[in-house]
C-alpha cells in the first residue's frame, strides 16, 4: 500500500511516527507532506487552526475537533502501539509519553478535552537506545504515582532530557526537587504560574527550586483571567526568587504584546522593581 501522511507540526508528530512504523513493518511505502503523491490511504494530524489542511481518510489533532472523519486520536495508541519511526522527522532524540494524564481542568488548556488515560509507561516503550536524549511529552509528570520510576530509567540509561512541557510547581516537594536536580536537561526546566489563586503553592515550589539551584524558566499565562497589575506582581515575585518570567499570552492585545516584549528584553534588571522599569519603558516605547 501507498500511505500519505500530512501534518502542520514544525518538528515532529508522534502519532504519525507511530503510524509510519506500523505501515513500514507491513511493507507499505510512506510519503510525508507530499500531496501530489498517489496513495491508497492518507492520514492527517493538524495542530493549528490557521494552517492549510489536506482532507484525509483519517484525521486528528487539536485543529480537527468537530470534524466527522474517523478519529486519528482513537487509534494512534491502539492499532499503532509500536515504537515511533524515528526516520520520519530529523530528530536526534526519542519521543513519547510515560504519563499522559493531567488532573487539572484548566479552561485555557486543550488537554482536559482529550482522552488521556491514567496509564504509566516505561520509557523503553518508545526510547531507542541509539539516542542519548529523550523528549517527554507528558502533560503532568508529577501527577503520575510512578513518576520516580521514569526518572530512575532515565538516570540508569544516562539520558539527557529534552522536555517540551513543564513540571507542576503545585506538586513540588523535596523528593521531586532533588530528582530534577539530579537529572541532566538539554535546556532550562519549565515551570508555570498560570492562575493568581495558586500563589501559595507556586511560591512554595519556587522556593524549593531556588534551594536546589534549578536552572528554570517560569511561564506566566497573561490575558486569560488576570489584569496587568497581577501580571506585574507575578513577574516581580518570580524575579525576586532569582528566576526569569516568560509571558505566554492567551489574548494578544497591544498592551500585552508590548509588556511581553519589555519582559523578553529584561529591561527591568537595572531597576529596583519591575513596575518602575515598566513605567520608564512605556515613556520610551509608547511615545
Instruction: Kindly report, residue by residue over 40-86, the tens digit of the pLDDT.
Output: 999 998 888 777 777 788 888 777 765 444 455 544 444 557 899 99
Domain count within the chain? 3
Tell me which residue of 179, 171, 184 sits closest to 212, measured CA to CA: 179
The answer to whether residues 4 and 81 belong to one domain is yes
Could you report the per-residue pLDDT of 8-39, keeping only the tens digit for each? 988 999 989 999 999 999 999 999 999 889 99
The answer to whether residues 68 and 147 belong to one domain is no
The answer to whether residues 214 and 241 belong to one domain is yes
Instruction: Judge contact between 58 and 72, C-beta under 8 A.
Output: yes
The answer to whether residues 142 and 193 belong to one domain is no
Nine-digit cell string for 43: 492520514
Q: Would residue 174 count as lying in a domain?
A: no
Q: Would residue 181 count as lying in a domain?
A: no
Say which residues have a Cβ less than 8 Å from residue 63's Cβ, sequence separation at least 6. Answer: 8, 46, 47, 48, 49, 51, 53
Nine-digit cell string for 240: 525576586
Task: State how far the alpha carbon of 59 is from the alpha carbons of 2, 15, 112, 125, in Å.
Answer: 17, 11, 20, 24
Regarding pTM above 0.85, the answer is yes
Residue 273 exposed, middle or buried by CB count within 10 Å (0-12, 13-18, 19+)? middle
Rounded Cα distance, 33 and 205, in Å? 43
Say which residues have a Cβ less than 8 Å from residue 96's Cβ, sequence separation at least 6. Answer: 14, 84, 121, 123, 125, 126, 127, 135, 136, 137
The answer to whether residues 154 and 237 belong to one domain is no
- Tally the C-alpha atoms within 13 A of residue 60's C-alpha that lie toward its C-beta: 18
Range of the domain at 251: 188-287
Instruction: Judge contact between 95 and 17, C-beta under 8 A.
Output: yes
State which of 53, 85, 117 marks the end of a domain.
85
Residue 158 exposed, middle or buried by CB count within 10 Å (0-12, 13-18, 19+)? exposed
Instruction: Judge contact between 258 and 277, C-beta under 8 A.
Output: no
- Residue spans of beta strands (DSSP E) within the chain: 2-7, 29-32, 41-45, 58-60, 70-71, 94-96, 133-136, 160-161, 184-185, 189-193, 216-222, 244-249
State which of 119, 134, 165 marks the end of a domain.
165
What is the crossing angle of helices 254-264 and 274-285, to 10°?
120
The answer to whether residues 27 and 72 belong to one domain is yes
The answer to whether residues 54 and 19 belong to one domain is yes
Q: Would residue 100 count as lying in a domain?
A: yes
Q: In this structure, what are the phi and psi dihedrals at residue 83, rounded to the nearest 5 degrees?
A: -65, 145
State which of 34, 56, 85 marks the end of a domain.
85
**Residue with cell string 494530524:** 45
Q: For residues 39, 45, 51 and 57, what is the CA-based torsion angle, rounded to 10 degrees?
A: 40
Q: Would residue 177 count as lying in a domain?
A: no
Tell me which residue of 72, 231, 100 sits closest to 64, measured CA to CA: 72
What would the DSSP string read from start to end of 195-208?
-GGGHHHHHHHHHH
Write out the chain's pLDDT in tens, 287 residues: 999 999 998 899 998 999 999 999 999 999 999 988 999 999 998 888 777 777 788 888 777 765 444 455 544 444 557 899 999 999 999 999 999 888 888 777 777 666 678 899 999 999 999 999 999 999 999 999 999 999 999 999 999 999 878 899 999 999 999 999 999 999 999 999 999 999 999 999 999 999 999 999 999 999 999 999 999 999 999 999 999 999 999 999 999 999 999 999 998 999 999 999 999 997 666 55
Q: Would residue 221 count as lying in a domain?
A: yes
Amino acid at each position: 500500500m501507498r500511505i500519505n501522511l500530512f501534518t502542520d507540526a514544525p518538528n515532529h508528530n508522534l502519532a504519525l511516527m507511530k503510524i509510519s512504523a506500523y505501515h513500514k513493518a507491513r511493507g507499505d511505502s510512506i510519503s510525508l507532506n507530499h500531496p501530489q503523491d498517489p496513495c491508497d490511504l492518507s492520514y492527517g494530524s493538524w495542530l493549528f487552526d490557521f494552517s492549510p489542511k489536506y482532507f484525509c481518510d483519517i484525521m486528528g489533532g487539536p485543529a480537527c475537533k468537530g470534524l466527522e472523519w474517523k478519529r486519528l486520536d482513537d487509534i494512534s495508541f491502539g492499532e499503532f502501539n509500536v515504537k515511533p519511526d524515528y526516520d520520519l522527522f530529523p530528530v536526534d532524540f526519542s519521543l513519547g509519553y510515560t504519563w499522559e494524564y493531567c488532573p487539572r481542568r484548566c479552561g485555557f488548556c486543550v488537554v482536559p478535552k482529550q482522552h488521556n488515560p491514567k496509564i504509566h509507561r516505561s520509557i523503553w516503550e518508545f526510547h531507542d537506545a541509539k539516542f542519548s536524549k529523550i523528549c517527554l511529552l507528558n502533560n503532568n509528570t508529577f501527577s503520575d504515582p510512578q513518576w520516580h520510576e521514569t526518572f530512575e530509567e532515565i538516570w540508569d540509561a544516562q539520558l539527557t532530557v529534552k522536555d517540551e512541557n513543564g513540571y507542576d510547581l503545585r506538586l513540588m516537594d523535596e523528593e521531586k526537587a532533588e530528582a530534577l536536580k539530579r537529572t541532566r536537561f538539554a535546556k532550562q526546566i519549565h515551570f508555570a504560574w498560570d492562575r493568581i489563586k495558586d500563589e501559595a503553592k507556586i511560591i512554595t515550589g519556587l522556593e524549593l527550586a531556588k534551594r536546589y539551584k534549578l536552572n528554570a524558566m517560569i511561564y506566566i499565562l497573561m490575558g486569560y483571567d488576570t489584569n496587568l497589575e497581577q501580571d506585574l506582581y507575578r513577574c516581580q515575585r518570580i524575579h525576586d526568587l532569582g528566576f526569569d518570567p516568560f509571558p505566554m499570552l492567551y489574548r494578544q492585545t497591544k498592551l500585552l504584546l508590548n509588556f511581553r516584549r519589555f519582559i523578553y528584553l529584561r529591561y527591568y534588571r537595572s531597576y529596583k522593581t519591575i513596575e518602575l522599569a515598566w513605567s520608564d519603558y512605556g515613556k520610551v516605547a509608547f511615545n
